[in-house]
Amino acid sequence: MPLVTPFADLGPSVRLIGLKSMRGPGCLLLLVVLLLAGSASAASSGPPPGMAFIPGGSYKPLYAKEATNRAAQPTFMDVMQVTNGEFLAFVRAHPEWQRSKVSRTQADKNYLTHWLGDLELGAKAPVNAPVTLVSWFAAQAYCEAHGKRLPTQDEWEFAARADTTRADASTDQAFLRLLLEWYTKPATTALEDVHSGMINVHGLRGMHGLVWEWVHDFNSTMIAGDSRSDGSLERQLFCGAGSLLAADVSNYAAYMRFAFRSSLQGNYCVSSLGFRAAKSVTANAKDTNRSGVFTTPYDLPGEWRTQDGKPVTLAGLRGKVRVVTMGFTRCKFACPRIFSDMQRVETALGADADRVGFTFLSIDPQNDTPARMTAKMAEMKMNPARWTFLTAPDATVQQLAVAMNFKFQLVEGFFAHSNLIAVLDENGRVLHREESLGADIEPTVRTVQQQLSKR
């Protein structure tokens, strides 16, 4: 089951119930029974057609040597990857996703180029082979059209540890060698039928050996090697990058997956990259989130709230040239420096700064309440007539982060994230990006002034 080497074609809870009155083995036994009962109940009701039940649990991630185990929630997952035939039915029903009509903001020029036409597959795209050359946005739209979503990285990695007989074969060297053999074999002309994939103990086929797969939060993958110095590229690009050390580089198959994800952008279409859908066992807003087609980030749906608690949409930001960043107010390293750089831009613009919006978009909705954002603005002595702080639910933030090519990852309670100062025109088109801390502000200032001169 050969797989294209990925880098060749890439361009530029059950809640822990308090039980405070109980202690000792009896409490532990009761907790285990409750966990098993919850999973058994979900499994006994039966997964949706074409899906398998994944019980969930904890696992050790590749990154962060000192990290505690991460949790994967119980979920349903497609038994096999989405096929060319299934995706063809989708684009027939949703013509905006046909090859000749899709926006370049949502899929690059490689989108479905192995098909003969908008509605014709051809010899290079067998009907039962996994669909590839589809972007994250296209994969997500397909899932949403079917009442599903892309699996999270935790869900996918937890399920992918399984072999044919064990839920966790991640430390079995024979299994890891098999994965590496699959990952490094050259591809055949056409991909194999999805039914040919190895079936694991969960009932999932082809988790390894056919194609790589999109995950919902692919942009949370950021890897730094533990031999890098404090001046390394990763430490310049990522706030908190010191926590992104690989946990087990000897598991090179997993390392390849994470490295591949870290190289992706949401509109990339890669010949070795497909997807399968997931669905939460319990009601979950992620399963019903609708992204829609967009030209600029301002077209994205979802409600945000300002530092004053006022509800707004990104469309409401239209009409002004804006200097924008993303981050979280608890950040002690990169975000204060980014704010400082933006304030330097504000000062350099002089009186013209009154015509510009300076906007902070939080990636930490659990902590960045309107009160906390107001306090941060006061601490930084920001003029509320010019500055706007915004927060939104996780799914809404994730959509924007992918659209802005912004990476962030929650590691032990804090975020590692890429650095960003972007200039957007009055319709939300990104005109300029700066991704290094303490960089020369002149290009940013010049871009803003050029836009102001046109108005």
Length of the chain: 455
**pLDDT at residue 291, as a whole number:** 58
Pairing of strands 321-327, 212-213: unpaired
CA dist 305 and 171 (Å) reads 45
Q: What is the pTM of this model?
A: 0.80
**pLDDT at residue 185, as a whole number:** 72
Going by C-alpha positions, the residue among 207, 259, 254 that lies closest to residue 234 is 259
Q: What is the DSSP letter of 220?
A: G
∠ at Cα 204 (198, 205), nearest 5°?
Answer: 35
**pLDDT at residue 48, as a whole number:** 93
All structural domains of the chain, each given as residue ranges with its CATH number in brackets, are 6-14+47-85+94-287 (3.90.1580), 297-453 (3.40.30.10)
The H-or-E segment that residue 375 falls in is: helix 370-379
Say which amino acid occupies 330. Answer: R
**pLDDT at residue 121, as a whole number:** 97
- Helix ranges (H only) for 94-242 are 136-145, 153-160, 173-184, 233-237
**pLDDT at residue 287, as a whole number:** 55
CA dist 312 and 319 (Å) reads 14
- Give yes or no for a contact between 69 and 60, defined as CB atoms under 8 angstroms apart: yes
Going by C-alpha positions, the residue among 231, 242, 218 that lies closest to residue 411 is 242
**pLDDT at residue 29, as a whole number:** 39
Going by C-alpha positions, the residue among 344, 268, 316 that lies closest to residue 104 is 268
From residue 316, alpha-carbon distances to 298, 392, 447 in Å are: 8, 14, 22
Kindly provide the b/e burial profile for residues 306-336, where b requires at least 16 CB atoms within 10 angstroms of the residue's own CB.
bbeeeeebbeebbebbbbbbbbbbebebbbe
CA dist 269 and 135 (Å) reads 5
pLDDT block averages, 10 residues each, the chain of length 455: 42 32 40 42 72 91 64 94 98 97 94 97 95 96 95 93 92 86 70 92 93 92 46 44 52 78 92 95 62 83 96 96 97 91 97 97 96 97 97 94 90 84 96 91 97 90
Going by C-alpha positions, the residue among 391, 351, 357, 395 that lies closest to residue 374 is 391
Residue 214 three-state SS: coil
∠ at Cα 394 (389, 396), nearest 5°?
Answer: 75
Tokens 């591809």 correspond to what residue? Answer: 187
Say which amino acid occupies 1. Answer: M
Say which amino acid occupies 150. Answer: L
**pLDDT at residue 249, as a whole number:** 58
